[in-house]
Amino acid sequence: MQKLLMPGLLLTVIVAAALLAPVLPLPDPVRQDVGARLAGPSLAHWAGQDEYGRDVLARLVWGARVSLSVAFAASFLAAIAGMFLGVLGGYFRGLVELATVRAAEVVLCFPPLLLALLVVTLLGPGADTLIFCLAILFAPGFARVAYAETLATRNLDYVTAQTSLGTPTVRILMRTLLPNIAAPLIVQFSLTIAAALLLESGLSFLGLGVVPPAPSWGLMIRSARATMEQAPLLLVWPCLALSGTVLILNLLCDRLRDVLDPRGSRARPGFLRTLAALPSKRATSMPTASGLLSVRGLTLEAPGPHGPIPVVRGVEFDVAPGETVAIVGESGSGKTLTGLAIMGLLPPAISVVSGEIVLSSRSGQQLDILRLREREIRALRGGDIAMVFQDPSSSLNPLHRTGSPIAESLRAHGNPGHRVTELLRRVGLPDPSRAARAYPHELSGGQRQRVMIATAIANHPRLLVADEPTTALDVTVQAQILDLLSDLKRSDQGMGMIFVSHNLAVVSEIADRVVVMYAGQVVEQGPAAEVFAHPHHPYTAALIASTPEDDIDRLATIAGAVPQPWALPQGCSFAPRCGHATPGCESQAPELFRHGERRAARCLRWREFA
């Protein structure tokens, strides 16, 4: 909401001045004083006097009344009419589309000024005619935006879900569709008000709009033109008022769109936020990654209703060359955000509070990803580090042939683009040349994931981050993809891998080491075989017990749910769900106890438990 403050305040001042014009201590805007013709600014007339000796400031303020009310009323009418036509046409299509959107588009065939001339000739000049005329001119623009957005939205799953629930059509249109297409309509509204202000000025300038002597900004520009050489300031004032108001309106609508869209950025973009939030490091304090990657004290925050909430808290782990480290935990434990932080791809709403992610790059440098500029991270992505996403159907561009992102990735890192088929063969696609020419919808889910993997490994990354790469696939294809990843690791000896998953059965097949996360923290880590055989944290033990095996009757579940980041318990985060918790666990937050070279657990009773 803070974002709206400045433009909202400025617009309020302009609108208040226009509304309060009759009670403000201003001279009569139409009273002439020919003796003081074209007089410059003075104490009595702050902005000077025009060619009839009328007070320019009074005419500007009264002119705002006319110009703004015409622009607002016309844009509002155009928005309502256009939105109505566009949504109906886009949702029902067929004849309704013909009678709404296509009919409205007829208006676009006429040059706007000619149409305005026609309407003014028929109805006579004046503010009311102008509102009507501008509304007709701008409504098709809204109709087209609403139509296009409705077409894109009407077949999305959440709209289909509403239909399948039997929700009445009017409710779907009002409650589901409209809020989701509102953002572009708001932008269109800001552009339309600005265009209406300018067109009103233009039409008044041509003598087709507001009738003199009533003031409007367009009329003021028109009359100032004749005396431009003797009194240039007379032209400057209305132009300033016009362009200033248009800029403020654009700013306000842009900010409004950000505020109304929860997916919009609430924070500054990537590197700016990171650089500002983190204390800069002296060269001597830079840790050196013992292996390939070293994550230290990574703490991330998300915006909450009462201020920032910690979603990842002091996460630490290492990845050695050639090692597969699995990050496991229930939904909401912070696995994905940790993976995205390593890629420098955190969503705009998430901010880095502290920590280091040091990568030992191909060029032998130790780079702290959190402190790199966007341009520097971009050079690493696809080369030193690459990522495979969870859902292959949404990570491939539906309009590009599957070979094209691979070729692009190869070329971006200076490799020849013709290796595409070779890579597709390497990831096990049976007819690589055909697959390279196919569109994503022509491939199966497993084949699409193979294409994603081919894109990721195209430039032999040193580190591959795989975020639940098998979750969207069926069990047979899951096994094939896991085999593929293992094969790739074997053939590309030095490549380290971070494998994010909530599925322990999958992890046990692929991981060398396991990092178990709970409520944004690492609660246990160690070699996979040791952790699975002898967990040192009750949460890990519970996760293992709840992994489905052959005998589904013996499946255990973990009572309760992961605490929300804004309602973390005072002591150990797992204590409320833990069968081994003591009163001490509920009052004291445990640190990560390290034992031996390779294992660590965040549990006060880890010794007894182990």
* Interacting residues toward ligand ATP by CB under 6 A: 302, 311, 329, 331-337, 347, 349-350, 502, 565
Q: In whole angstroms, how close is the CB of 180 to ligand ATP at the nearest point?
A: 18
Identify residue 558 by its one-letter amino acid code: I
Strand partners, 524: 516, 601
Q: Least distance in Å: CB of 335 to ligand ATP?
A: 4
Question: Taking the complex as a whole, how short is the minimal distance between the CB of residue 567 and ligand ATP, in angstroms?
Answer: 11
- The nearer residue to ligand ATP, 201 or 336, going by C-beta atoms, is 336
Instruction: Report the nearest approach of ligand ATP to the CB of residue 302 (Å).
Output: 3
Distance CA 50, CA 202 (A): 20
Between 67 and 390, CB nearer to ligand ATP: 390
Structural tokens at position 239:
């132009």
CB of 7 to ligand ATP, least distance (A): 25
Give 317's strand partners: 295
Nearer to ligand ATP, 266 or 580 (CB): 266
Residue 443 or 531 with smaller CB distance to ligand ATP: 531
Measure the CA–CA gap between 127 and 135, rounded to whole angstroms. Answer: 12
Contact 163, 172 (CB under 8 A): yes
Q: Which of 80, 69, 56 is nearest to 15 (CA)?
A: 69
Closest CA to 176 of 168, 184, 185: 168
Extract the tokens encoding 402.
């599957």
Please count the other Cβ atoms lying within 10 Å of the Cβ belonging to residue 23: 7
Q: Which amino acid is at 573?
A: S
167 contacts 173 by C-beta, under 8 angstroms: no
Shortest distance (Å) from residue 253 CB to ligand ATP: 24
Cβ at position 507, least distance to ligand ATP in Å? 13
Say if CB 177 and CB 163 are below 8 A apart.
Answer: no
Q: Which is nearer to ligand ATP, 328 or 407 (CB)?
A: 328
Nearest approach in angstroms of CB 157 to ligand ATP is: 18
Q: Which is nearer to ligand ATP, 7 or 565 (CB)?
A: 565
Of 502 and 580, which has the nearer Cβ to ligand ATP?
502
Complex with ligand ATP: residue 18 or 481, whichever CB lies closer: 481
At residue 477, the 3 state secondary structure works out as helix
Query: What's the closest the beta carbon of residue 329 comes to ligand ATP, in angstroms?
Result: 6
In this complex, which beta carbon is closest to ligand ATP, that of residue 105 or of residue 391?
391
Q: How far apart are CA 243 and CA 386, in angstroms?
A: 47
CB atoms within 10 A of CB 522: 27
Which residue lies nearer to ligand ATP by CB, 138 or 389? 389
Phi, psi of 339 (to 5 degrees): -60, -40
- The answer to whether the Cα torsion of 188, 191, 194, 197 is positive or negative is negative
Q: How far is the CB of 357 from ligand ATP (least distance, A)?
A: 15
- Residue pair 359/463 in contact by the 8 Å Cβ criterion: yes
Cis peptide bond N-terminal to 213, omega within 30: yes
Q: How many CB atoms lie within 10 A of CB 297?
A: 12
Residue 332 or 496: the one with the smaller Cβ distance to ligand ATP is: 332
Give the distance from CA 534 to its chain's centroid. Answer: 42
Q: Taking the complex as a whole, how short is the minimal distance between the CB of residue 564 and ligand ATP, in angstroms?
A: 7
Burial of 33 (0-12, 13-18, 19+ CB in 10 A): middle
**Residues 13 and 248: beta-carbon distance below 8 Å:** no
